[in-house]
Structure 1
Amino acid sequence: MPPNQGRAAGLAAMSELSEAVLAVARHLDTSTVLRTILRSARELVGAEYAALGVPDGAGSFARFLVEGVSDEQWRRIGPLPRQHGMLGVMMQDPHPQRLADITADPRFNWWPAAHPQLRGFLGVPIRDGQEILGALFLGNTDPDGVGEGECFTQEDEAVLEILAAHAAIALTHARLYERERELAITTERARLARELHDAVAQKLFALRLTVQAAQSLIETEPTRAREQLAQVGALATEAATELSTAVGELRAPDLAGDGLAETLRKQVAVVDRAHAAHGGPRVAFRCCPPPHLPPTHDQVVLRVAQEALHNALRHAHAQRIDLSLCAISEQDAEAEHFPGGARLVVRDDGVGFDAGTSGRGLGLVSMRERADSVGGRLTVRAKPGEGTVIELEVPGGRG
């Protein structure tokens, strides 16, 4: 290669690497960072295929991004891969794997019929210390993947290790934010518990006063005393019901037991009661009809609903917040994109904001990442003074 061409190629490679590194430094949402790193890895090394997997802790993957595979081919490949064969090795072994022919390795298992045929394979773990957060994979070093003696080099491995280190930073940032968000939710639940306790305490105080009034009337006005005692019974029933409901609904969500719609209904009910008792916004939930989603999709919809509701309560200064959850029917205009899926809408009549300039807040970034993780779509419609609408659409199966 002539010197000028060599320098140009080197500058191009440095530019790709710089873009991947800066994506982490700019704190872009995790999916964007990982996608940039994956694309850079494929282009820097000159691989035909690239993939990045993040395990879900249950033998599959919470994220699995690919480059070099068309949407149609990805659809024909089928569900997200399990951690078997070399994928399983990468989730357990902290060392890079560089193979001239992956199919000749005894640890190789199988591929679906529509899977690209690979020979050369390079995989590098994404690690935080000794913990494996995921892995970067590259396949085939020539356009056809059948070249003689095809193999990735030591230099390719070094480049991939650099990019894997930056992927680890992005995933660690995402973990830290998730922990902070969970802490915020726990704090909010504790606050709601205190407010509900105060509401029940007020009923018990009224109950005690009514009993005292009845006692003072027993001898002189027995008819009024009986009326007061009847009111005691009603107040006692209300207090017991309020306390029982509050305790039940402040428990951690039980998606598996209650289902998505019932879990959302319970959480909205307790939030509405707590805030309305102190002059806050009314919160309502509607479901029509309930969707049937995979557990991972249920979890995404629940988390987005919680995040959107939390943001509305904190920032919107709204009088009313409405949540709706509906299955996407075959007649729906979006059924082609989200077959058998679900649509969640969180709408408030609050102060709104400029969605064009304020869409990078951590809450919105987190919701977009969750939508992306299952192949869904998050839409934000907001204007100053006109409230906010958060709409999440997720498919019925693998996105």
Structure 2
Amino acid sequence: MEGLSSDARALLNAVAAMSSDLELDKVLRRIVESACELTGAQFGALGVIGDHDDLSAFITHGVDDAGRAAIGDAPRGRGILGLLIHHPGPLRLAHLQEHPASFGFPANHPPMTSFLGVPVLVRGVAYGNLYLTEKADRAEFTEQDQMLVEALASAAGVVVQNARAYALSERQRTWLEATSRLDQALRPGASVHEALDLVAVAARIVSRSPTVAVLHTGPDGKPAVLSTEGREAERADEVVTIAADAVRAAFAGDRPDPVPLADERLAVAVPIRAELFGPTVLVVELDPRQERGMLSSDLDMLASFGDQASLALDRARAVADREQLAIVSDRDRIARDLHDLVIQRLFATGLQLQGVRGQVLSPVVAERIDSTVADLDTTIRDIRSTIFALQQRGSTSLRAQVTGLALEYERVLGFAPAVRTSGPIDTGVPDDIGDHLLAALREALSNAARHAHPATVTVEISCDAREVTLVVTDDGVGIPAGCRESGLRNLRTRAADLGGQLDLVPAQPRGTILRLAVPVAR
């Protein structure tokens, strides 16, 4: 840089210094520091102009943290500072207190006399203002200082524009990565809570929000907070309550304006228009001061994230529905084959055996044929129970609950009880009677495990148009004479309350048969 004046070299060094970083906050601080070094100013600041012609950020140089804390809140753009906001242009004063627009200083503010203010323009639009005070040796800022700072501010506008473009591209990249990870994490079959938890986590990571809430419409049709995220997640209900109108608008599919909260924060309600998943709204708390100039882009990216999340949720639900449909179709095919092929063949075999039975003279052979026919009848009933289970779509059917309850006692008994069902168990038994049957079955299995010590237990439930019958048979030690009834007394009371009857008889050659019959129409 030989041949250049000292001022030119200083300006080039200042431009190089503030261009050495792409992080916006660091760039803004380097601009202030470079302006102070270039002019010999003791104090400097850069005020970023907000959406309401005030200062949304105020970056200072020359005042330490203790001094800033003693002064109090950062200026909002009144007095001389506001003059440059409404009339952007260079302003140089020897005594700023003597200017008519001077507003004075707050308590604990350092004394300042000389002043130089220059706007920073980004693409011709005022982004902020450079404020410099207290030139060294109590001198006034010169016209040369003004020219240097104007040149620095012009270069600063380009540097700020590059930093903002870089920050925006990084934010967009982060949002895209989060959306991609969300799409990959939403595995088919994920529950509503699992899916909404993933949405909340992704939104919290990319928005850096202290509070994220995801609301979903429940079975009663009312929206409820199902997932929260963030270091201040406990405030989710409070934020949702304040933004209640925006949340209702988002549930209606609109994109409402941000709702102001305390400390200049904003609550944003984002609709997630998932057709298969159901109405969902994402509520995110934003602090515009942390990401200067990024609010508008963040709002757009949040809306885009909501659309992408809806596609991911619908895709996961569609894949899960397709897999469930394949399972249901396969079950229907198996049930149809069992009914049309297996049962018919077994029934035909039984008829043939019964036809042969009349031609058999040996009592031993006849007895074996009768026994085989009885086994075939039992097998047919078991297959029909399996067909009913295969055709049952839900997991809360009475048939499924009886099977599940029997399997619970496998660890207690040391074996799994055999379960046989017949008739329209899932459609012919009212829910309240089904609950009583399950309670009675639990009591019967508990008694068998505690007192009978059986080697086998059989559970049979049958239903017709008149009554449902529960029969529990074990081959244990039986009921000793004179034993005190406690659980059995409860069962008898339960049967009487339902208008039914409980019978307890010995099994042959050993064991006990418990039979509970209850009318299905009372």
What TM-score results when the alignment is normalised by the length of structure 2?
A: 0.38
Higher relative contact order (CA 8 A, sep 6+): 1
Point out the structure with max Rg over C-alpha.
2
